[in-house]
Amino acid sequence: MGCSLLASLIVACFFLYVVLASGSPGNLPILAFDEGYNHLFGDDNLVVLRDGKSVHLALDERTGSGFVSQDLYLHGFFSASIKLPADYTAGVVVAFYMSNGDMFEKNHDEIDFEFLGNIRGKEWRIQTNVYGNGSTSVGREERYNLWFDPSEEFHQYSILWTDSQIIFYVDNVPIREFKRTQSMGGDFPSKPMTLYATIWDGSDWATNGGKYRVNYKYAPYIAQFSEFVLHGCSVDPTEHLAKCDIAESSEAIPTGVTPTQRIKMEGFRQKHMTYSYCYDRVRYKAPPPECVINPKEAERLGVFDPVTFGKGRRHHGKRHHRSHNSHAEATSI
Ligand SMILES: *[C@@H]1O[C@H](CO)[C@@H](O)[C@H](O)[C@H]1NC(C)=O
């Protein structure tokens, strides 16, 4: 029994190594909802479709909703196809993220995709962010618009997390490469996390400090999720031991964004990035140490509306169903 378990872990790790080293995540196993996730909050606002592979998360005047992965992971590739609610979505926030905030109150890690609804009808914006070891006083947000309408079809949103970098992908195009540097110290996520997907009322958080609130006349707002990929090293929460740690083998660490992907990534960022913390001189007199300042980018991003961020840490996960206003102190546009 022990031997076959070990053998299967070796096979699993080898597979993970092949996937990560190839730099392009294709053909990964797609899980049914019940194979990888559990209901988190929102009662019947979470609906698993009959195929077992797709989920609707609704927000109405009673509650938002969310789900959480059954396992904790240390590194890996995590993905979902998401179709966002259409039309008027001011104040509606959909999030697909990793966090361990429930286990580490003071020094949690987090990797975020956040979709921010907008008064301008269909124009959703995406935000990515990273926190490490409770670094909530240093937000590392970037914002982008998209080259498609994310409420029209499903699109794939993915996170690659290794010991040395985090890459965010949209439809397998890397949009952000976040490299671990010595100077950022503990600010790089390094403890096991679970995956979350949620929809919630961000009236006080996402639209100019409550200027444009969720309008429940248009409810329910429904975000659709499918094609769940949870391809990481799962960790036993009681032992804090990785069953399979890709970081143990240096070969397992991907070489990063391929040259072809890099051209696409840079094209995306030039065209679609609307905000980067690296150029926010209101928040950071000196940019955080990992920032590489590109004068052209600084000039371009300077012409966008300034984004203001409040103080305080954001509360994710289970706390959502107790108070959907718990994000009130965080940020505004
Ligand atoms: C993480 O935070 C804890 C508590 O604040 C601190 O003791 C520890 O040294 C930090 N770890 C790193 C790697 O910075």
| 252: containing domain | 29-332
Residue 325 located in a structural domain: yes
Cis check for the bond before 220: say yes or no (omega within 30 of 0): yes
Token duo for residue 164: 């040395």
**Gyration radius from the chain CA atoms:** 19
* DSSP-derived secondary structure letter, 44: G
In this structure, is residue 257 part of a structural domain?
A: yes
> Residue 244 has what pLDDT?
59
Residue 39 lies in a domain: yes
- Helix, strand, coil shares of the chain, percent, nearest 5, are 25, 35, 45
Displacement of CA 56 from its chain's centroid (Å) = 18
Does 11 reside within a domain?
no
CATH code of 271's domain: 2.60.120.200
Pocket lining: 104 vs ligand 1, CB cutoff 6 Å = no
Ligand 1, atom 13, residue with closest C-alpha: 186
Q: Has residue 265 been placed in a domain?
A: yes
Question: pTM for the complete prediction?
Answer: 0.84
Q: Which residues are bridge partners to 57 per DSSP?
A: 46, 223
Distances from the Cα of 250 to the Cαs of 21, 74, 230, in angstroms?
10, 15, 22
The encoded tokens of residue 330 equal 């965080």
110 included as an active-site residue: yes
CA distance 22 to 310: 40
Do 86 and 152 form a contact (C-beta atoms < 8 A)?
yes
For residues 187 and 155, what is the distance between their CA atoms, to the nearest angstrom? 29
Residue 18 located in a structural domain: no
Atom number in ligand 1 closest to CA 185: 14
Q: Which pLDDT score, from 0 to 100, does residue 330 have?
A: 35
pLDDT at position 21: 43
114 is an active site residue: yes
Which residue's structure tokens are 């980018």?
297
Structure tokens at 77: 């590739």
Q: Using CA positions, which residue lies closest to atom 4 of ligand 1? A: 107
The separation between the first and the last C-alpha atoms of the chain, rounded to the nearest angstrom, is: 55
- Provide the pLDDT for residue 233: 87
The count of structural domains within the chain is 1
- 9 assigned to some structural domain: no
Q: Which of 107, 180, 190, 313 to mutate to test the pocket of ligand 1 (most atoms within 8 A of CB)?
A: 107
Residue 239 covered by a domain: yes
The single residue of 110, 142, 152, 297 carrying the catalytic annotation is 110
Nearest to 162 by CA among 242, 245, 260: 245
What is the chain's pLDDT, residue by residue, as a tens digit (333 residues)?
A: 343 444 444 444 444 544 444 444 557 889 999 999 999 999 999 999 999 999 999 999 999 999 999 999 999 999 999 999 998 898 899 999 999 999 999 999 999 999 998 877 668 999 999 999 999 889 999 999 999 999 999 999 999 999 999 999 999 999 999 999 999 999 999 999 999 999 999 887 755 556 778 999 999 999 999 999 998 888 887 765 555 555 443 343 345 799 999 999 999 999 999 999 999 988 899 999 999 998 888 888 876 655 555 433 343 433 443 333 333 333 333
Our answer on whether the CB atom of 185 is closer than 6 Å to any ligand 1 atom is yes
**Choice among 105, 114, 227, 266 that is catalytic:** 114
Looking at residue 155, its pLDDT comes to 98
Residue 105 beta carbon below 6 angstroms from any ligand 1 atom: no
Residue 125 in tokens = 């914006």
Confidence at residue 14, expressed as pLDDT on a 0 to 100 scale: 46
Tokens of 202: 């961000």
Cα–Cα separations (whole angstroms), residue 40 to 62, 90, 201: 16, 24, 16
Ligand 1 centre to CA of 188 (Å) is 11
Closest atom of ligand 1 to CA, residue 134: 2
Q: How far is the CA of 134 from the centre of ligand 1 (A)?
A: 8
CB count within 10 Å of CB 251 equals 9
Overall residue count recorded for the chain in this entry: 333
pLDDT at 17: 45
Q: For residue 38, what pLDDT is reported? A: 98
Tell me, using a 6 A CB cutoff, whether residue 133 lines ligand 1: yes
**Strand pairing report for 241-242 and 92-99:** unpaired
